[in-house]
Structure formats: structure tokens, C-alpha cells
Amino acid sequence: MSVDDATVRKIARLARIEIHEDKVTKMANELNGILNWIEMLNEVDVNGVEPMASAVAIALPMRDDAVTDGNIQSSILKNAPKADSGFFVVPKSVE
């Protein structure tokens, strides 16, 4: 599989990373280099193999339903670039 400039722009938008037009082709080439190298995985016979979802073969541990956290508004907002009256202030978004 290979990516062209249009695909790079699309992926960059999905990843919310701005790429200047004059860098798009370079990025496409770099990504293609990596993707071509990755192609060799197609040589492997993976018939009937379950994907390895986790290195740890245990069931999901569960916790009790109790309020043990939160109520730390000032800590939550401490590192905010912009906060007001207890809220995070972010650029206007539309529904």
C-alpha cells in the first residue's frame, strides 16, 4: 500500500496535525518508505492465529463502586491554558 499527498492530508486532518503544503510530499515519501518495509509482514502465515490482544493473560480486574476520587477541581484545572469559574475554556466549537 502507498500513500499519496491527498492521503497524507487526510490522515493529518484525522490526527489533527497541520502539515504545510511544502512538507506534504516529503512526509508521503517517508511514510511510504516505512509502509513498504512493513509489507514483508504479508509473508507470514497467520491462518488460524488469534491476534495477541495482550501480553498479560488474565481477566480484567474490577473495582468496587465507591466514590474514592474527584472533588479536586483546583488540581484538575491547575495546568489548564485557560480556565474560568471552574470550567476549561476552549475555542468555540459548534454542534
Binding to other proteins, residues 25-84 (CB under 8 A): 27, 30-31, 33-35, 37-38, 40-44, 46, 49-56, 58-73, 75-82, 84
Residue type, 92: K
Single residue of 4, 21, 22, 85 touching other proteins by CB under 8 A: 85
Task: Let me know if 48 is exposed, middle or buried by CB neighbors in 10 A (0-12, 13-18, 19+).
Answer: exposed
Contact mark string toward other proteins, 1..30, x via CB under 8 A:
x-x---xx-xxxxxxxxxx-------x--x
Q: Show the cell assigned to 85.
A: 469559574
Count, residues near other proteins per rule CB under 8 A = 72
Cβ atoms of 1 and 32 within 8 Å: the answer is no
